[in-house]
Structure formats: structure tokens, C-alpha cells
């Protein structure tokens, strides 16, 4: 028991350890690497490119049902580029591709080369996904293409449909080429669960989602036959949780009502009002270590955390004070020295 207790604390120290403040936001763990302020208020969620070089987000227009203008921001130069689509511009993990829903009917998903989005006034898409529609798309890298493993990789893309079902399609891309092959046509999956706000792991094999039957969020494994198997119940209610590269951690936000105490906000696709404070949490998913609270906010809603490949945690901050700008925080975490070993343990458990 004593050794197990010591191990847990050593793990936490190795994972995250610094303490500082920015705005009226207190960080319980981690060290801010950089903060990027923007004009306007992004709606829904943002995504960070796996190498941390860019962030994508949407600023919605009033009375349009959420549709708006999509943007990419270079995290070094801070240059902002307007890109096509109505909402939720998402990078395809570990690639130079991006998937964009082109209309509010959410049945016109197209894939673009990111470089073309940055340089062309009217970029052409590489492919339109057939029979693929929905919201909240996310992506993962499945690995080499069995047909040509030396020069081709495959990726999975998922979305949540209007009627609450979930759909995925698998694509393959030749190295140094924009030729995209559809490996698996659009397929409904996870029909044995009623899930909301799904987010795919970086390997495309796990899913983080809110289970509407248990009223809790969990981690699910996607089986080859399209069914899902719950491998962990987080015991909390959250949406759009994200995985780190090695699938040893999930990150998420929880919103708490300042007046009523520890009451979680119901709506996870909107920014909570000033009566809520949202904080970021990390949860190891290979052990029984409890959730780690990353922020101790006073008047900020920090939301939708995600990981870069080098282990940085990135999240958006919505200050209560309308005179302060919305910002993105890049947080450095001390890496777990045994992360690859722990990832192997996780895969053994699930």
C-alpha cells in the first residue's frame, strides 16, 4: 500500500509540477509555454494541429444556427487565415490535411490540403466524402496502408449525425501525394451505446464520449465489427474529451456553478455564462489514479483541452470580463518517463 501511494505521487510529480498565475487564472500544475490572444469569440470547440504549429476555430454569426467563419492561426507568427466551411475545421491527425463541413446541412464534408488553404484564395478540395454527415468530427491515424505500407498511411474520421448515430470512414494517403483512397466507406458504429459528443483517440481505436444511459462520460474501444466496448467509466459528465498520443491520459473540462456549488453545466457545445467557472482536468486511463485538476480558475472558463504530439496541453480561455481577449494556452507537462511502457499496459487492459 505504501509503495503504491509513493508511486502515485511520484507519477504526478513527473507528470506536472509548476505553479503560476495568468489573468485571474491559477494553474495548479504545468508551466505555460505560450499564450495566444485573438479577436472575437470562437464558438463550439477548436482544434490544434498535432505538431502545435496551427490552431483552427470558428467564429459564428448571429442567428445562423451556429454557422460562421473558419480560421487558421499560425501559433508562431500569429498570422490568421480565413478558410472555407461553416464550422468545426479539423486537422486530420498526423497529416497535412483538414476536413471541413462546407454547408449548414452538414452533408458536404470535404478534405483539403492545409498548404492550399493557406496560399490559395479559392482552394480546391481533394475529395468529397460520400454519405458522410454530422457534427463534431475528429480524426486518428490508423497506421500504414496494408497495400503499400512503405509509402501510404491510413486515417479514420468520425462524426455524430443529426439523429444521434455515429459514422466513420477510413481513408488512405500516399506519401508526397494528394491522392486519397477510401479504404472504408461511411459506416455507422457504436450502435450498442447511446453516445454524445464523441472524440476519437490519436490511434483511431478508442473513443471518448458521454453515455446518455449512464449519464457519465467514458472511454470506449471501437471493435472491428463496428460495435463498441466500454473500457472505463470516468464517473463524471463532460463532452469532447481528448487523448494524448500514447493513450495514457484524457483531458477534459468541467463547468461549475459559482452560486450553487459543484453543479456541472448541462450544455457542452456552448460557452457557460459568468455564473460558471470551467476548469481543465487530466485523468490517467491506465491506472486508478484520480483526476488531476490543472487550473483553479476564478473568473475564466477554460475549455476543450487537447494534446500536441510532444505532450503539450492546449486549451481555450473565455474570460468573464468582456474587455479581456479570448486566448489559447499551451501548457508544458513534464513527460512520464515510462509513458510508452504505460501505454502498453493500457492496451493490455483493454
Contact (Cβ atoms closer than 8 angstroms) between residue 40 and residue 32: no
Residue carrying the nine cell digits 467557472: 277
At 31 the pLDDT is 84
**What burial letters (b/e) apply to 85-119, b meaning 16+ CB within 10 Å?**
bbbbbbbbbbbbbbbbbeeeebbbbbbbbbebbee
- pTM of the full structure: 0.86
At 21 the pLDDT is 36
Q: How far apart are the first and last CA of the chain?
A: 25
Grid coordinates standing for 58? 470558428
Domain locations along the chain: 1-41+245-350, 42-189
Contact (Cβ atoms closer than 8 angstroms) between residue 191 and residue 165: yes
Grid coordinates standing for 50? 498535432
At 26 the pLDDT is 60
At 133 the pLDDT is 86
Which residues 6+ apart lie within 8 Å of 63 measured at CB? none
At 25 the pLDDT is 56
From first to last of the 350 residues of the chain, give the pLDDT tens digit: 444 544 444 444 444 333 333 445 566 667 888 999 999 988 767 999 999 999 999 998 654 556 789 999 999 999 999 999 988 899 999 999 999 999 877 679 999 999 999 999 999 999 999 899 888 899 999 999 998 898 899 999 999 987 778 999 999 999 888 899 999 999 999 999 999 989 999 999 999 999 999 999 999 999 988 999 999 999 998 888 999 999 999 999 998 886 765 555 555 666 788 888 999 999 998 778 889 899 999 999 999 999 999 999 999 999 999 899 999 999 987 554 334 444 445 444 43
Residue 47: name the closest of 301, 234, 240 by CA. 240
At 178 the pLDDT is 86
At 9 the pLDDT is 41
Distinct helix (H) and strand (E) counts, the chain? 3, 28
Please give the C-alpha separations between residue 98 and each of 84, 87, 88, 133, in angstroms, as whole numbers.
11, 12, 10, 16
Amino acid at each position: 500500500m505504501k509503495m503504491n501511494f509513493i508511486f502515485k505521487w511520484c507519477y504526478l510529480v513527473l507528470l506536472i509540477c509548476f505553479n503560476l498565475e495568468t489573468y485571474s487564472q491559477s494553474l495548479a500544475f504545468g508551466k505555460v509555454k505560450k499564450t495566444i490572444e485573438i479577436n472575437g469569440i470562437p464558438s463550439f470547440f477548436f482544434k490544434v494541429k498535432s505538431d502545435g504549429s496551427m490552431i483552427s476555430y470558428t467564429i459564428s454569426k448571429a442567428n445562423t444556427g451556429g454557422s460562421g467563419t473558419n480560421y487558421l492561426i499560425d501559433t508562431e507568427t500569429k498570422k490568421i487565415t480565413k478558410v472555407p466551411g461553416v464550422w468545426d475545421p479539423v486537422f486530420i491527425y498526423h497529416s497535412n490535411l483538414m476536413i471541413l463541413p462546407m454547408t449548414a446541412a452538414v452533408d458536404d464534408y470535404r478534405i483539403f490540403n492545409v498548404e492550399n488553404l493557406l496560399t490559395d484564395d479559392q482552394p480546391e478540395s481533394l475529395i468529397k466524402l460520400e454519405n458522410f454527415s454530422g457534427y463534431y468530427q475528429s480524426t486518428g491515424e490508423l497506421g500504414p496502408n496494408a497495400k503499400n505500407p512503405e509509402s501510404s498511411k491510413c486515417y479514420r474520421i468520425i462524426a455524430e449525425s443529426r439523429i444521434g448515430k455515429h459514422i466513420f470512414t477510413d481513408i488512405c494517403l500516399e506519401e508526397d501525394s494528394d491522392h486519397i483512397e477510401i479504404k472504408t466507406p461511411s459506416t455507422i458504429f457504436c450502435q450498442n451505446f447511446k453516445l454524445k459528443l464523441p472524440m476519437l483517440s490519436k490511434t483511431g481505436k478508442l473513443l471518448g464520449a458521454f453515455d446518455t444511459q449512464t449519464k457519465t462520460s467514458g472511454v470506449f474501444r471501437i471493435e472491428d465489427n463496428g460495435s463498441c466496448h466500454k473500457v472505463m467509466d470516468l464517473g463524471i459528465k463532460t463532452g469532447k474529451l481528448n487523448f494524448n498520443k500514447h493513450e495514457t491520459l484524457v483531458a477534459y473540462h468541467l463547468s461549475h456553478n459559482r452560486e450553487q456549488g459543484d453543479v456541472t453545466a448541462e450544455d457542452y457545445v456552448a460557452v457557460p455564462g459568468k455564473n460558471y467557472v470551467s476548469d481543465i482536468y487530466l485523468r490517467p486511463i491506465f491506472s486508478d489514479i484520480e483526476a488531476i485538476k490543472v487550473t483553479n480558475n476564478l473568473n475564466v472558463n477554460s475549455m476543450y483541452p487537447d494534446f500536441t504530439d510532444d505532450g503539450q496541453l492546449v486549451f481555450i480561455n473565455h474570460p468573464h470580463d468582456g474587455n479581456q481577449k479570448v486566448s489559447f494556452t499551451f501548457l508544458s507537462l513534464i513527460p512520464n518517463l515510462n509513458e510508452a511502457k504505460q501505454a502498453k499496459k493500457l492496451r493490455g487492459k483493454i
